[in-house]
Amino acid sequence: MKNIVTATVIAGVLAGSAALAQNDGSAQVKARQGQMRVIALNLGVLGGMAQGKIDYDAEAAQNAADSLAGVAMIHQPTLWIEGTSNADREGTKALPAIWEDNADFMTKWDAFVTAANDMQSVAGTGKDALGPAMGGLGDACKACHEKYQQSDD
C-alpha cells in the first residue's frame, strides 16, 4: 500500500514537472495567433461589405464589429510574455522589439482598441460608415506590424 502511495506521489511529481517543462510559451503564442485570426476573419466580413463584394447586412456587420471589440478586451500582457519572440523560439513572427519597448507596443494595441470600438459604434448604421472605420483599423494594424512583426509580406 505504502509503495503504491509513493509511486503515485512520484508519478504526480514527474507529471507536474513535465507539465512545467511544457510551459514554454507555446500556449501564449497560439492564443496570440488565434486572436489575430479572429480579427482577420471579421475584418474580411466588414472589408468585403465595404468593397461591395458582400451585400451589406447590418446585423452581420454588427456581429463582426462586436467580435473585433471582444478581441480588443482581451488582456494582452497575458499573451505577450517574455521569452516568446522569434529570437527565442520557432513558429512566431513576434520581434524582440516588443519587449524592448513594451510601452510603445501597448500603445499600438490601444490604437486597435480605439479603432475596434469606433467600428462597433458605426458598423450597424450603414455601408458608407464601413470604409472610414476600416481605414482606422488598417492604420492600427499597419502601425504595429511595421515595427513589431517579422515581415515577410
Partner 1 sequence: MIRRFFRFLLLAALIAAGFAFWMTRAVPLDEDALAGVEGNTENGQYVFTAAGCASCHAAPDAKGDDKLVLAGGQKFPSDFGTFIAPNISPDPTEGIGDWTAAQFASAVTQGVSPEGQHYYPAFPYGAYAKMEKQDLADLWAYMKTLPASDTASQPHDVGFPFNIRRALGGWKLLFMDDNWVLKNAPSEQVTRGRYLVETLAHCGECHTPRNMLGGMDTTRWLAGAPNPSGKGRTPGIAPGGFKWTEGEITYYLETGFTPDFDSVGGHMVAVVDNMAELTEGDRQAIAAYLKSVPEQPSE
Least distance in angstroms from the C-beta of 117 to partner 1: 18
Of these, 51, 102, 121, 125, which contacts partner 1 (CB under 8 A)? 51
Which amino acid is located at 47 in the chain? G
Instruction: List the one residue from 72, 94, 123, 134 that touches partner 1 (CB under 8 A).
Output: 134
149 φ, ψ (degrees, to nearest 5): -120, 130
Q: Say which amino acid occupies 134.
A: M
- 74 within 8 A of 116, measured Cβ to Cβ: no
146 makes contact with partner 1 (CB under 8 A) = yes
Rank residues 124 and 147 by Cβ distance to partner 1 and give the closer one: 147
Site for partner 1 in 65-104 (CB under 8 A): 86
**C-alpha angle 34-39-43 in degrees, rounded to nearest 5:** 150
Closer residue to partner 1 in complex, CB, 42/120: 42
Using CB under 8 A as the binding rule, whether residue 135 contacts partner 1 is answered as yes
With CB under 8 A as the contact rule, which of the stretches 9-17, 21-29, 44-52, 122-130 interacts with partner 1? 44-52
Of 114, 115, 127, which Cα lies nearest the Cα of 45? 127
Residue 3 CB, nearest approach to partner 1 (Å): 54
Q: Which three cell numbers stand for residue 60?
A: 452581420
40 binds partner 1 (CB under 8 A): yes
- Rg from Cα positions in the chain: 21
